């Protein structure tokens, strides 16, 4: 059965390019992103792992650990990382999980049989410090992911997990947010000391609280 937002992310133990990963223990009190790749030594995947490596500082700023995964072997991953670092001019300093028997891949339903019976699609699971799945993104094999959008999603998830706000279409960090409908008008001044605007009874905005 496919995983859903709000479920506890399944725990697992697997080999990776940085040693054995026990997933829940690895996440600890961090946010985490687990993202799959159809196979090693492929052009789109090479560009994606390179981009994640270049954005590693941004993930660290957000208290977030990233893990890649594909059905390749550990030795295949290690050889591939040499190519990634050479061609993408970066250093891959996050774990890439080796899952040749597809145990984790099936646990997270990363194979969609109408696409392929053997290769994963490009799944992205964003997982909170409570180990619950906060977001699931799915891309086809021939479309590389926009990791800046994934960072934007992460910013929204982190913000809305703490404050009584939602983020509007195309929101970016630092822009105004939307007040949740559960906040009463008489509570606005104390809940949002930076100010607020009432555009409609159901449409209220406030500067980003943090």
Which residues are known to be catalytic? Answer: 45
Q: How far apart are CA 87 and CA 111, in angstroms?
A: 28
The region, left, alpha or beta by phi > 0 then psi within -120 to 50, assigned to residue 78 is: alpha
- How many C-beta atoms lie closer than 10 Å to residue 53's C-beta? 20
Q: How far apart are CA 183 and CA 197, in angstroms?
A: 13
- Check if the beta carbon of residue 62 is closer than 8 Å to that of residue 91: no
Q: How far apart are CA 10 and CA 186, in angstroms?
A: 42
DSSP string covering 70-112? ESS-HHHHHHHHHHHHHHHTS---S-EEE-TT-HHHHHTT---
User: Strand 31-36 vs strand 64-70: parallel, antiparallel, or unpaired?
Assistant: parallel
Q: How far apart are CA 58 and CA 96, in angstroms?
A: 18
């Amino acid at each position: 059965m496919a995983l859903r937002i709000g479920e506890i992310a399944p725990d697992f133990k697997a080999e990776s390019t940085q040693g054995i990963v026990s997933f829940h223990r690895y996440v600890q009190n961090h946010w985490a992103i687990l993202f799959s790749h159809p196979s090693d030594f492929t052009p789109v995947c090479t560009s994606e792992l390179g981009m994640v490596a270049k954005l590693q500082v941004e993930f660290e700023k957000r208290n977030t650990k990233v893990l890649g995964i594909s059905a390749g072997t550990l030795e295949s991953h290690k050889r591939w990382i040499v190519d990634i670092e050479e061609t993408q001019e970066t250093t891959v300093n996050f774990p890439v999980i080796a899952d040749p028997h597809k145990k984790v891949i099936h646990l997270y339903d990363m194979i969609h049989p109408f696409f392929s019976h053997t290769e994963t699609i490009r799944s992205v699971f964003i997982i909170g410090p409570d180990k619950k799945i906060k977001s699931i993104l799915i891309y086809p094999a021939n479309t590389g992911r926009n990791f800046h959008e994934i960072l934007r999603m992460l910013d929204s998830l982190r913000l809305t997990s703490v404050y009584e706000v939602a983020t509007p279409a195309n929101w970016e960090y630092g822009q105004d947010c939307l007040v949740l409908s559960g906040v009463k008008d008489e509570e606005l001044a104390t809940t949002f000391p930076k100010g607020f605007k009432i555009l409609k009874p159901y449409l209220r905005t406030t500067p980003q609280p943090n």
